């Protein structure tokens, strides 16, 4: 691959990664699942979400959480102010329509905009594919924590089986499941 093509590939995959985190930080991840292949996999630590539907359900659940709800249901603190910074992206083409991206994500979050926990640093490992419409998508998007703060983020603490059980559950203002059968 010549330097010009390497630059174009790096730019396309950097743009994909930035679009993902922009959606997570400023749109509560509502459309982030669309950046994956239909069978794409998102992995954060030991948590694995397979397919667009599970990825969408995770971000839908995450958007509904507040500090009290998340703490009561999962024993974790809900975050109100969140930002993800992407750094040191290295892109390597592994086929005509595939590439691997490695880098770092630095996570800042706190209960308020004025209170941030120490940042979490994670290694980023993505497998990306160019689909039939010449649009890059994540085949896999993996975060492996390197440095953690004392506060565990929602995506690190969630049990995917919990998500499967509660994805469509209606919650009241306190975060408790609403009784579906009222008399």
- pTM for the full predicted model: 0.77
CATH code, domain with 122: 3.10.450.50
183 within domain boundaries: no
The model's pLDDT over 83-138, given as tens digits with 9 standing for 90+, comes to: 899 999 999 999 999 999 999 999 887 766 666 677 889 999 999 999 999 999 99
Two tokens, residue 24: 């997570």
Would you say residue 176 lies in a domain? no
Domain count, the chain: 1
> Residue 180 falls within a domain, yes or no?
no
Residue 173 in domain: no
Tens of pLDDT, residue by residue over 144-155, are 999 887 665 555
Strands 98-110 and 47-50: unpaired
Structural domain range at position 113: 3-166
Residue 179: inside a domain, yes or no? Answer: no
Residue 172 lies in a domain: no
Backbone angles phi, psi at 181, to 5 degrees: -115, 95
Residue 49 lies in a domain: yes
């Amino acid at each position: 691959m010549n330097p010009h093509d390497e630059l174009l590939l790096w730019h396309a995959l950097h743009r994909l990664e930035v679009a993902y985190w922009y959606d997570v930080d400023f749109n509560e991840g509502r459309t982030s699942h669309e950046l994956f292949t239909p069978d794409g996999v998102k992995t954060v630590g030991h948590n694995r979400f397979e397919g667009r539907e599970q990825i969408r359900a995770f971000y839908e659940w995450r958007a509904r959480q507040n500090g009290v709800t998340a703490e009561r249901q999962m024993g974790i603190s809900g975050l109100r102010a969140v930002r993800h910074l992407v750094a040191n992206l290295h892109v390597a083409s592994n086929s005509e329509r595939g590439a691997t991206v490695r880098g770092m994500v630095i996570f800042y979050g706190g209960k308020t905009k004025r209170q941030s926990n120490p940042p979490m640093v994670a290694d980023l490992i993505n497998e990306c594919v160019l689909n039939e419409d010449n649009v890059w998508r994540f085949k896999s998007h993996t975060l492996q924590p390197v440095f953690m703060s004392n506060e565990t983020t929602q995506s690190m603490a969630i049990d995917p089986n919990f998500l499967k059980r509660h994805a469509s559950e209606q919650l009241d203002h306190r975060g408790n499941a609403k009784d579906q059968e009222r008399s």
